[in-house]
């Protein structure tokens, strides 16, 4: 379940399954899990394959379109939902009549593997990844090779990025070419609400964290880094064109100023189904290797570092893509839930480091005549977490010209 070997659950909810004509009701209990399945189906049937079952009235008319699965029905309920009626569509595909409509079962050629095989495969991949990281810790990293997705990110950045008269750059999220025609988003607001309520209960127990949380959101609104939007998800023909970022928690909440990471994407086994992992490439690695940058600092006689304040939030997101960075929030338990969309690049999403560092490189190109000394520092000595490490030699300064 969820692509993992083991998942734990401490909640059960009661529900009623209702037939499409409202004549049959099935009472059941459901176990609540952090994640049910991955985006299904994992492939797109061809038009010829879809034509084989087009005359049948399916329970899910767009079952061929990859989307999030909200409920998995166990075999204990099968006798109550199955009706008389079986159609052999092809040698490997069967249609069965249920209280919800017709459902499909069987195998598409060379595409579907069994669930047990999938779990074992993921487990081996995780172990292999951990072993590889263990042996590569002491190795000198090799430069990443450019792949088609990296080229796509660069081409999209060059063709879609603009700059306002006030200075900030406006970028777009580099979605994969298969989005949204072949892979699509599902509903996300319900999940975001559940996580927000859960975090709210946690913050109420830790009263000292609630003001910090509210202050950060207040800063977002004060700086116009987010704006209120509608409470309904944008969708058309079963495809969703908005996404609510999952709520987790504050990291290092007592850090001054606190870094707001409450809406980072989940990590671990849930990553493949998160928004920007599934639908957007990471982009090429542009920042220098941190270890090499630190080692380089040891070659200088005098070293200093700086911080690009709110680097990610200095970069605006195009209005067409702001709906993919929605959140829900209310200032108190008695206040109504309000929906917001973030107007700037969000730290924590998959392509954010590429967009941030690439914008710094673009800035260095745009100001290379006016500020030539800044160009090599922005391009070779700035990390993706806003830190700048350089020396007086790089700036052609004497040690007396600045204070350590």
How far apart, in whole angstroms, are the C-alpha atoms of residue 119 and residue 98? Answer: 29
Query: Are 374 and 287 contained in the same domain?
Result: yes
Q: Is residue 292 part of a domain?
A: yes
Q: Is residue 16 part of a domain?
A: yes
Q: What is the 3-state secondary structure (H, E, C) of the chain?
A: CCCCCCCCCCCEEEEEEECCCCCCEEEEEEECCCCCCCCECCCCCCHHHHHHHCCCCECCCCCCCCECCCCCCCHHHHHHHEEEEEEECCCCEEEEEECCEEEEEECCCCCCCCHHHHHHHHHHHHHHHHHHHHHHCCCCCCCCCCCHHHHHHHHHHHHHCEECCCCCEEECCCCCCCCCCCCCECCCHHHHHHHHHHHHHHHHHCCCHHHHHHHHHHHHHHCCCEEEECCCCCEECCEECCCECCCCCCCCCCCCCCCCCCCCCCCHHHHHHCHHHHHCCCCCCCCCCHHHHHHHHCCCCCEEEEECCCCHHHCEECHHHHCCCEEEECCCCCCCCEEEEECECCCCCCCHHHHHHHHHHHHHHHCCCCCCCHHHHHHHCECCCCEEEEECCCCCCCHHHCCC
pLDDT at 5: 56
Query: Are 81 and 166 contained in the same domain?
Result: no
Can you tell me the mean pLDDT for 66-85?
86
pLDDT at 120: 40
Query: Are 96 and 196 contained in the same domain?
Result: no
pLDDT at 199: 80
Return left, alpha or beta for 283; rule: phi > 0 is left, psi -120 to 50 is alpha, else beta: left
User: Is the CB of residue 329 less than 8 Å from the CB of residue 338?
Assistant: yes
Query: Are 96 and 174 contained in the same domain?
Result: no
Higher pLDDT among residues 273 and 397, named by residue = 397
- Out of 59-63, 85-89, 132-136, 398-402, pick the least confident: 398-402
Look at residue 369 and tell me whether its pLDDT is greater than 60: yes
Query: Are 176 and 69 contained in the same domain?
Result: no
Percentage of the chain beyond pLDDT 70 is: 74
Query: Are 214 and 345 contained in the same domain?
Result: yes
Query: Are 212 and 314 contained in the same domain?
Result: yes
Query: Are 343 and 292 contained in the same domain?
Result: yes
Query: Are 163 and 62 contained in the same domain?
Result: no
Structure pTM? 0.56
How far apart, in whole angstroms, are the C-alpha atoms of residue 120 and residue 300? Answer: 50
* Domain encompassing residue 165: 144-401
Q: Is residue 138 part of a domain?
A: no
Look at residue 299 and tell me whether its pLDDT is greater than 80: no
Q: Is residue 125 part of a domain?
A: no
Can you tell me the mean pLDDT for 135-159?
70
pLDDT at 279: 63
Tokens 């909200």 belong to residue: 70
Query: Are 89 and 158 contained in the same domain?
Result: no
Q: Is residue 124 part of a domain?
A: no
Query: Are 96 and 153 contained in the same domain?
Result: no
How far apart, in whole angstroms, are the C-alpha atoms of residue 398 and residue 302? Answer: 9
Q: Is residue 76 part of a domain?
A: yes
Q: Is residue 114 part of a domain?
A: no
Q: Is residue 135 part of a domain?
A: no
Higher pLDDT among residues 117 and 78, named by residue = 78
* Phi, psi of 377, rounded to the nearest 5 degrees: -70, -45
Query: Are 18 and 65 contained in the same domain?
Result: yes
Instruction: Quote the tokens at residue 160.
Output: 């879609």
Instruction: Quote the tokens at residue 332.
Output: 């108190």
Per the structure, the count of domains in the chain is 2
């Amino acid at each position: 379940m969820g692509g993992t070997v083991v998942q734990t659950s401490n909640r059960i909810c009661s529900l009623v399954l209702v037939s499409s004509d409202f004549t049959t009701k099935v009472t059941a209990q459901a176990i609540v899990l952090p994640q049910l399945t991955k985006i299904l189906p994992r492939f797109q049937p061809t038009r010829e394959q879809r034509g084989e079952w087009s005359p049948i009235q399916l329970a899910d008319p767009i079952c061929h379109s990859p989307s999030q699965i909200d409920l998995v029905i166990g075999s204990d309920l099968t006798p109550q939902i199955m009706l008389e009626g079986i159609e052999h569509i092809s040698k490997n595909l069967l249609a069965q009549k249920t209280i919800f409509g017709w459902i499909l079962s069987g195998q598409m050629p060379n595409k579907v593997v069994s669930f047990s095989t999938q779990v074992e495969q993921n487990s081996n991949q995780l172990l292999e990844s951990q072993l590889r990281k263990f042996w590569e810790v002491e190795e000198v990293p090799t430069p990443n090779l450019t792949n088609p997705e990296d080229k796509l990110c660069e081409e999209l950045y060059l063709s879609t990025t603009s700059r306002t008269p006030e200075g900030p750059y406006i970028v777009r999220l580099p979605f994969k070419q298969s989005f949204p025609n072949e892979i699509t988003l599902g509903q996300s607001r319900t999940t975001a609400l559940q996580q927000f309520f859960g975090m709210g209960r946690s913050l109420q127990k830790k009263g000292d964290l609630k003001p910090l949380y509210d202050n950060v959101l207040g800063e977002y609104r004060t700086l116009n880094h987010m704006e209120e939007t509608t409470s309904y998800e944008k969708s058309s023909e079963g495809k969703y064109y908005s996404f609510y970022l999952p709520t987790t928690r504050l990291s290092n909440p007592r850090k001054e100023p606190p870094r707001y990471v409450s809406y980072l994407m989940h990590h671990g086994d849930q990553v493949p189904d998160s928004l920007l992992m599934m639908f957007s490439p990471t982009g090429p690695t542009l920042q220098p290797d941190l270890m090499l940058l630190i080692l380089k600092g040891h070659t200088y006689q005098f070293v200093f570092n700086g911080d690009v304040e709110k680097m990610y939030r200095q970069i605006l997101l195009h209005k067409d893509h702001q709906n993919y960075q929605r959140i829900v929030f209310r200032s108190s338990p008695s206040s109504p839930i309000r929906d917001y969309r973030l107007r700037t690049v969000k730290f924590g999403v998959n392509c954010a480091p590429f967009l941030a560092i690439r914008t710094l490189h673009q800035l260095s190109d745009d100001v290379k005549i006016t500020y030539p000394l800044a160009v090599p520092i922005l391009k070779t000595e700035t990390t993706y977490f806003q830190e700048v490490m350089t020396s007086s030699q790089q700036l052609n300064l004497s040690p007396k010209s600045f204070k350590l």
